Amino acid sequence: MTELNTQQQVINTTIASLKNQPGALLPILHGIQDGLGYIPADAVPEIAKALNLSRAEVHGVISFYHYFRDTPPGKHTVHVCRAESCQAMGGKQLESHVKAKLGIDYHETTADGKFSLEPVYCLGNCACSPAIQIDKDIHGRVSAQSFDAIINELGA
Amino acid sequence: MSITIYVSADSSAVSLGADRTAKAITEEAQKRGIEINLVRNGSRGMYWLEPLVEVAVNSERIAYGPVQASDVAGLFDGGLVFGRKHPLLLGATAEIPYFKKQQRLTFARVGITDPISLEDYVAHDGYRGLESALKMSQADVVKHVTDSGLRGRGGAAFPTGIKWNTVLNTPSEQKYIICNADEGDSGTFSDRMIMEGDPFVLIEGMTIAGIAVGATQGYIYLRVEYPHAHIALNAAIAKAYEANYLGENIQGSGKTFHLEVRLGAGAYVCGEETSLMESLEGKRGLVRFKPPLPAISGLFGKPTVVNNVISLASVPVILDKGGEYYRDFGMGRSRGTLPLQLAGNLKHTGLVEIAFGMTLRELLYDFGGGSASGRPIKAVQVGGPLGAFVPESQFDTPLDYEAFAANWTVLGHGGVVAFDDTANMAEMARYAMEFCAAESCGKCTPCRIGSTRGYEVMDDIINNVDREKNIVLLRSLCDTLLNGSLCALGGMTPYPVLSALNHFPADFGVDA
C-alpha cells in the first residue's frame, strides 16, 4: 500500500511541477522514469488529462522513444553499445559474452531481478571502444574478463 | 604552497578509471601530508593516455599517463609533485606531438581549465566574444559569422551565417535558438567533450546567437546517453545566471537570453532538426516536411536557429578575433578548423582539431598511429553511420567538404571510425540497413519499409540465396531510399551500403 502511495506521489508531483512548461511531455516522462525506474500504465491517463492530450498520444510518445520503458527494470541496467566503432573493436563478441554471462537477451531482465539488458547506439565513448554503461557508469575498452569483474562486484 | 594536479572528469577518461585515480591521488597526498589542489578538467583528447595526470610545475604542465589508481603511490614515491622522472612520465603536455600539431580554436580551453569555473573561463579569454558582440549591431554580428565561412559542423555543412540571417530578417515576437546536442553518430564525441570540458563556450555561443537574431529563449536538446554533460551544462548555466551572463539585461546591455537543457530519450532520428523540434514540443520525433524552413517556422511555429554544438561553440572565437581570423584557416570552401574524432580500430584515438586540408591518410597514420590491432586498415567510415566506407585507395583525399563529396563520400562532422582487415563489409552493409530500420521514424515509406527489405535482401546475399538477382534488387532499393526519403536517415543509408558493395565486392561474394 505504501509503495503504491509513493508511486502515486511521484506521478502527481512530477506532473504538477512540470505541466506548465512549453513541450512538457518529455520532461514529465523523464521525471517519472527517474523517480520510479519506468512509466507505469496508470500514469498515462493522468498525464493525458494534465496536458489535454489523448491517452493514445501519450502512449505513442512513450513507445516512440527507446529510452522510456513501461515495465520495471532490474536492480541494475546494462547497456551494451552496438554501434560501428565498438564493432570495430570486438563489440559483437562482447555482446555475445554479456548475453551468455547474464543468461538473457536484449530487453529482458534476469529471473532474480538483478540485471536488465538493453542495446544502445553509441555512448560517445568511441575513443575507448568497446563501451558499455551500467546504470549511470560508463566503462571503456571492456573485455570479457573486465565485464565479469564488474558484474561479479555488483553481485551476479 | 599547494601543488595543482589535474585529472580529467571527461566521461571517457572516467570510463578508463579517472575517478579512481583522482581519489587515490587525494588519499595519497593526505597520507603524506602534501597539500594539493586537485582540478577535474576536461580531456586533452589523447585517450590512449587517459587517465592522464598533469602536475603544474613552473607555469608548465607535466603529464603522466595512463595512470591507474594502483600506480599512484609509486608516482608519489618517484616525485610526481615535482614532475620528476618515472616510467609513466610523458613530459610537458603541450609538447606531446599529437597535441602540439593541432590548431585548437574551438577547443582552446578544453583540458586546460576547470570546466565549471566561470572565473577560469573568463581568465582564459572567455566571454570576450559576447563583449564584442554586445557593442555591434545585430546585422554586424551575423556578418562576422557569415564572413568566417563557418558551416554547420553537425554534418550538413550549411553556412551558419545564412541561417542566422534568415532568422534575423523574419519578424516575430518570439524566436528560438536550439542547440542540437543529440550527438548520436558512432565515432563522434567532440560535442560531448565541449559540453563536459568547456560548457561555458557553448553557453556564450548560444547567447551571441540569441542576441544576433533577436531570440530570447534557447534550448540545448541533449541526448540522454550523456549524463556527465547534463550535469556540467546545468552547473555552468546556473553560474552564468548568477553572474548575469544569462537572464534579463545581460551585463547591463538590455538584452535578454534564457537557456535550458532538455533531454532526448534515445531516438537517433531526433538528431534531424525537424524531428528534434517535434520532440522538444513533446511529440513523437517524426520528421517534418521542408519547407517551411525552421528559420521561418520552427519550434512552436516560430523562427528558429538550429545549430550543432561545435558550430555554436565556434562562434565566441569568431566574435572575439573577427570573422577573417577564422576564415584564414582551411581550404577551398571549407573554412576554419574541424574537430576530427579518431575512433574504432586506431592506436591513438582521440580528438584532433586542425584546419581543413590535411589528407585522411595523414590523419589516420600521423595522428592515429595506424590500427590498434596492428593489422592493415581495410576501410574507414567517415561522417557517422550514414557516411560512406572509404577504402585505402581514397585515403589521400584532403579533409574538405567538397573533396569528399567528389568521391561520393561524406566528411560530415569529422567522425572517423577505422576497421582492420578482419571486418566483413557485407556484414557492415547489413548492419547499416538494420540500424535504419531500428531508428526510422516511420513517416516516409522508403525509409520505413525499405530498410527492413534492405536487411532481408542483405541476409539473402550473405547466405548466397539468388545472390546476383538480390544485388540488383539491393541497388534498386538504395536508389529508392536515396531519392525518395524525407530526411538524411533514409536518404543516406545507401552511402555505407553501396560504398561497401562497390569497394569490397568480394565480401558480398561477387567479382569486382
pLDDT by residue (tens digit) across A30-86?
999 999 999 999 999 999 999 999 999 999 999 999 999 999 999 999 999 999 999
Longest Cα separation, chain A: 51
pTM above 0.90, yes or no: yes
Across the beta sheet with B258-263, the strand order is B258-263, B217-222, B176-181, B304-308
Q: Residue B342: phi, psi to the nearest 5?
A: -95, 120
Find residue B263's DSSP bridge partners. Answer: B222
Q: What angle do CA B245, B247, B252 make, to 5 degrees?
A: 60
Q: What is the pLDDT at residue B79? A: 80
Burial class (CB within 10 angstroms; exposed 0-12, middle 13-18, buried 19+) of B502: middle
Chain A residue with Cα closest to B438: A66
Q: Give pLDDT tens digits along chain B (512 positions).
A: 689 999 999 999 999 999 999 999 999 999 999 999 999 999 999 999 999 999 998 889 999 999 999 999 999 998 877 778 889 999 999 999 999 999 999 999 999 999 999 999 999 999 999 999 999 999 999 999 999 999 999 999 999 999 999 999 999 999 999 999 999 999 999 999 999 999 999 999 999 999 999 999 999 999 999 999 999 999 999 999 999 999 999 999 999 999 999 999 999 999 999 999 999 999 999 999 999 999 999 999 999 999 999 999 999 999 999 999 999 999 999 999 999 999 999 999 999 999 999 999 999 999 999 999 999 999 999 999 999 999 999 999 999 999 999 999 999 999 999 999 999 999 999 999 999 999 999 999 999 999 999 999 999 999 999 999 999 999 999 999 999 999 999 999 999 999 999 999 999 999 86
- Bridge-partner residues for B176, per DSSP? B217, B304
In B, residues 156-175, which contact A (CB 8 Å cutoff)? Answer: none
Q: What is the DSSP letter of B2?
A: P
**CATH 1.20.1440.230 spans which residues of chain B?**
425-508
Q: Using an 8 Å Cβ cutoff, are B42 and B229 in contact? A: no
User: ipTM higher than 0.90?
Assistant: yes
* CATH fold of the domain at B334-415: Ubiquitin-like (UB roll) (3.10.20)
**Which grid coordinates belong to A146?**
573486465
Please give the pLDDT value at position B511.
Answer: 81
Domain boundaries, chain A: 2-64, 76-154
Instruction: Please give the C-alpha separations between residue B2 and each of B82, B85, B115, B157, B395, in angstroms, as whole numbers.
Output: 12, 20, 21, 47, 49
Percent of chain A with pLDDT over 90: 94
Return the residue of B nearest to A85 by Cα: B344
Scanning B270-289 for CB atoms below 8 A from A yields 279-285
> B349 vs A23: CB contact, 8 Å cut-off?
no
Answer yes or no: are the C-beta atoms of B318 and B144 closer than 8 Å. yes
User: What pLDDT is stored for residue B59 in this prediction?
Assistant: 86
What integer pLDDT is reported at residue A2 of this predicted model?
65
- CATH no. for B425-508: 1.20.1440.230
List, by residue range, all CATH 3.40.50.11540 domains of chain B: 118-326
Secondary-structure percent of chain B, ordered helix, strand, coil, rounded to 5: 45, 15, 35
CA B48, CA B352: separation in Å to the nearest integer? 13
Look up residue B29 and give its amino acid: A
CATH 3.30.70.360 fits B118-326, yes or no: no
Instruction: Select from 3.20.20.140, 3.40.30.10, 3.40.470.10, 1.10.287.610 the CATH code of B3-95.
Output: 3.40.30.10
Separation between Cα atoms, residue B200 and residue B506, nearest integer Å: 49
User: Residue B383: closest CA among chain A residues belongs to which residue?
Assistant: A84
Residues of chain B with CATH 3.40.30.10: 3-95
Q: Give B224 to chain A, closest Cα distance, Å.
A: 8
The three three-digit cell numbers of residue B67, written as one number: 595512470
**CA-closest candidate to residue B454, choices B391, B389, B501:** B501
Q: Which CATH class is domain A76-154?
A: alpha beta
| Whether the predicted pLDDT of A149 surpasses 90 | yes
Closest residue of B to A25, CA-based? B282
| φ, ψ at B337 (rounded to 5°) | -115, 160
The grid coordinates of residue B266 equal: 534515445
B265/A123 Cβ within 8 A? no
Q: Select the residue of B263, B300, B419 nearest A88 (Cβ to Cβ).
A: B419
CATH 3.10.20.600 range(s) for chain B read 334-415
Query: Which residues on neighbouring strands pair with residue B179, listed in sequence order?
Result: B220, B307
Taking the CA atoms of B75, B76, B78 and B79 in sequence, report the sign of the dihedral they define.
positive
A64 at interface of B, judged by CB pairs closer than 8 A: yes
Grid coordinates in use for B137? 549591431
What is the grid cell recorded at A155?
553481485
- In this complex, the residue of A22, A26, A85 whose CB is nearest that of residue B263 is A26
Alpha-carbon gap, residue B314 to B321, rounded angstroms: 11
